[in-house]
Structure 1
Amino acid sequence: MTKDRKIRLGAFVRGPGHHVAAWRHPDVPANPGLSFQHYADAARTAERGLFDMVFLADSLSARNGEQPIETFERTGHVVHFEPLTLLSALSTITQRIGLVATASTTYWEPFHLARLFASVDHLSGGRTGWNDVTSADAPAAANFSRDQHPVHADRYDRAEEFVAVAQKLWDSWDDDAFVADKASGIAIERHGIHAPDHVGRHFRVKGPLNVARPPQGHPVIVQAGSSDAGQQLAARTAEVVFTAHPTLESARGFYTELKGRLGGFGRSADSLKIMPGVFPVVAPTRTEAEDKFDAIQRLVDPVVGVALVSGLLGGVDLSGHPLDGPLPELGSSDAVKSRLKVVSELAASRNLTIRQLYLAIAGARGHFQIVGTPKDVADMMEEWFTGGAADGFNVMPPILPTGLTDFVDLVIPELQRRGLFRTAYEGRTLRENLGLARPVRGAAEHQERKAS
């Protein structure tokens, strides 16, 4: 651990906030998912707080076809902007903060995605990141002319190749390929062209990309899978990993295991930043923080709470089971395996009823949850950061905008006082601020050949 190592922070901006009842809170504007100003204010607040990045998740379906209408009509974050479109707009009202968006390797094509992210990287001056996901959202299949959602193993097989193709496309050009020499009439240096001509199991992509090499070389690659397949993909390709852990022990175990896989791909520990999610409810005193949390917990509709548990457990049918009784025995699922494991273990370890379980996950959804003072939150973050469990955190405000403002105004100064967080941005690009190297052109393709 280097002496000047600092905590990395992402602001996970999600419409009304992360609590399942956030949209009902009086401090949350109506329909925030459709307000650019709402997102712009959050991005500016995070930049004022010197966060490394704003992170936008995504989903490719509005409603699970089997979801009862009484659940759907009580859900407050159904519609939201397509994240890359939103990032393009946010790039015009921010200067330093990174802009990370989710895009699926299951339902996108590499050329399309590589072109979009390269474009936004240029537009933002080198501040983009791609959260590559395989989509556990089974209903999305019906929105993309497919009869069935691919199984977990097939999604990850496709994802491995997808990322490799995107990296080749970003490397289609040397950084100085576009000479634009008016005197000689040469616009492009022919030796600077590197068409991928990729032929693989899932994709045939000739290239080159019709966007110049991104300012960062490649947008920062973010990944959130914690299954064995997800960890292998992360160890090979990711530079930031978002992960969910409710305890220090589980976070430390994940951190050690994933960092230990990097050597097998010729990578150093510093080349990957692991950032667990944290759901902070913070106020000047613990009593105030607990009152804040209790107020939003009282807004949880039991119908929505049960649906939340069901979804995180892979769609298990909880109808007919009493709210104040135990979970039924769970079968296998092809959904988000890591989150299913976290939630089911939480229920078992605390012997929770269905009602107690949905209240326990209504905010953090399996991530670490802390309700307390700025010192309490900073103590927790310092313990995880110095204790081999995290390089930083993906902060999940309970409600927006006030939850993020509270964190910036109360917790950031405490972290800075301890010397754990920056007092100014170190660079202009997301890579520079995260302390990540700019990829050498062709290095990813060379690594792929070595691995095969």
Structure 2
Amino acid sequence: MSSSHGRALLHLAAAVDLPSTDDAGSHVELARLAETGGLDFVTLDDTFARPGPDARPGPDAFDVLSRVAPATHRIGLVPTVATTHTEPFHVRDAVTALDRVSRGRAGWRIDVPAGEGEVAEAAAWLWDGVPGSPQGHPVRVVDATEGPALPAAARHADVVLVRAADPRQVAAVRDRLRASAAESGRAPGSLRVLAGLIVDLGDGEHAAEPGHGGGGPRQTVRGPLYRGGPVDLAELIAAWHADGVADGFHLTPAEPRRDLERLVNGTVALLQHRGLFRTFYPGSTLREHLGLARPARPVRSGPVWNG
């Protein structure tokens, strides 16, 4: 599907993390809001403990998104899985269960530390023959901002996140990913590369703060941050899209409820009006939203796994 500008339509996703609550109902509310905007998927981190003297276990991403699934209809649901804490067959079972309950809308965001590419390889192999997953295997999302994750992303990812304030850096990583994917025997076009930004839309419709918005995001200790209004954010997204920087954006609201609402009702609406983002879901599965083919089942001897 192409936009009126001749390029493929944007892909948009958002984080729905709520650090201050474990209430699944609040996450349902955010996911439904994102779905009204036609976003491809939402992500949710799986936190093992909260910092500070009152540290306690955080929300289980699989549990929360399993509750979100029956309350939504089209939007993709992508929990983060830390490969250092979870064995591949446990990942397979949990994500496949989410894919079933959501009827083909599940993915998993793989946290791949340096040297952990073997885990992604093992998980990929475990999915090749698993019956009952509506998508063949759920969509694999990898953050390739850090260099060590790039080889695993090029071999296994369907969607790659790149967090950078400079569009040239995102474009450079995208080029490296595509070249590496081709070397691994994959079609470079089978990867969807999304630029990752934190967005602070607290300024509403006011002019963007210098160094943000129209001047572009800036790097902070939390990651690349855009601060301004939804109109300026739409302009930034449209400009990066026109330059072919990435296939879309993964946006993390600085203030979840406020910023996601302004993102959907302001930025997304403007992008839809300009013909850069879809106004309806073309199918029912996350792979269909992303324009990804159902994966074939290659014949493999299996990876070496020492878990």
Query: TM-score band (shorter)?
Result: 0.7 to 0.9
**Residue equivalent to 1:261:** 180
Query: Counterpart amino acid of 1:361?
Result: T
Task: Give SS of 1:92's match.
Answer: helix
Q: Percent identity?
A: 33
Find the aligned partners of 1:374 and 1:167 in 2 and give their Cα distance.
38
CA distance in 2, matches of 1:386, 1:233: 28
Q: Does 1:83 align with 2:61?
A: yes
1:286 equivalent in alignment to 2:206: yes
1:165 aligns with 2:165: no
Q: Contact conserved, 1:12 with 1:54, CA < 8 A, in 2?
A: yes
Q: Contact between 2:230 and 2:262, CA under 8 Å: does it hold in 1?
A: no
| Alignment length (residue pairs) | 293
The Cα offsets for residues 292-320 of structure 1, whole Å up to 9 and x where unpaired, read as x9xxxxxxxxxxxxxxxxxxxxxxxxxxx
Aligned AA for 1:7? L
Residues 440 and 447 from structure 1, CA distance in 2 versus in 1: closer, same or farther, beyond 3 angstroms?
farther
CA distance in 2, matches of 1:274, 1:374: 22
Aligned to 1:296: none
Q: 1:366 aligns with which of 223, 227, 235?
A: 223
Residue equivalent to 1:201? none
Distance 1:281 1:93 in 2: 27
Q: Which residue of 2 aligns with 1:131?
A: 109
CA distance 1:35–1:256, shift in 2 (3 Å): same
Change (3 A) 1:370 1:253: same
Q: How does 1:73-152 map to 2 (within 5 A)?
A: 79-134=57-112, 152=114
Could you say what secondary structure the match of 1:432 adopts?
Answer: helix
Flag structure 1 segments of 5+ consecutive residues without an equivalent: 17-30, 64-71, 136-151, 174-211, 294-345, 347-359
Please report the RMSD computed on the Cα atoms of aligned residues, expressed in angstroms.
Answer: 2.6
Report if the CA contact (8 A) 2:112-2:142 is conserved: no
Q: CA deviation at 1:79?
A: 4.8
Q: How does 1:158-237 map onto structure 2 within 5 Å?
A: 159-160=117-118, 162-173=119-130, 212-237=131-156
Q: Give the structure with the higher percent strand.
A: 2
Which structure would you say has the larger Rg? 1
C-alpha spacing 1:284/1:109, structure 2 compared with 1 (3 Å): closer
The one-letter amino acid of 2:12's match is L
User: Which of the numbers 202, 226, 237 marks the counterpart of 1:381?
Assistant: 237
Checking the alignment, whether the CA contact within 8 Å between 1:172 and 1:213 is kept in structure 2 is no
- Matching residue's letter, 1:242: L
SS at match of 1:80: coil
The corresponding residue for 1:251 is 170
Deviation of 1:108 (Å) = 1.1
Shift of 1:280: 2.4
In structure 1, give the amino acid aligned to 2:81: A
Contact 1:15 1:80 in 2 (8 A): no
Unaligned runs of 5+ in 2: 213-217
Give the SS at the match of 2:278: coil
Q: Identify the structure with the greater helix proportion.
A: 1
Distance in 2, matches of 1:392 and 1:447, equals: 33
Q: 1:241 to 1:168 in 2, by over 3 A?
A: same
* 1:37 matches 2:25: yes
What SS does the corresponding residue of 1:34 show, helix, strand or coil? coil
Equivalent position of 1:176 in the other structure: none
User: In structure 2, how many angstroms separate the alpha carbons of the residues matched to 1:446 and 1:269?
Assistant: 25
State TM-score, norm by structure 1: 0.60
Partners of 2:103 and 2:13 in 1: how far apart? 19
Q: Give the match for residue 15 of structure 1.
A: 18
Asked if the contact 1:6–1:421 (Cα under 8 Å) also holds between the matched residues in 2, the reply is: yes
2:48 is matched with 60
Of 35, 41, 45, the residue aligned with 1:47 is 35
Aligned equivalent of 2:280, options 390, 409, 424: 424
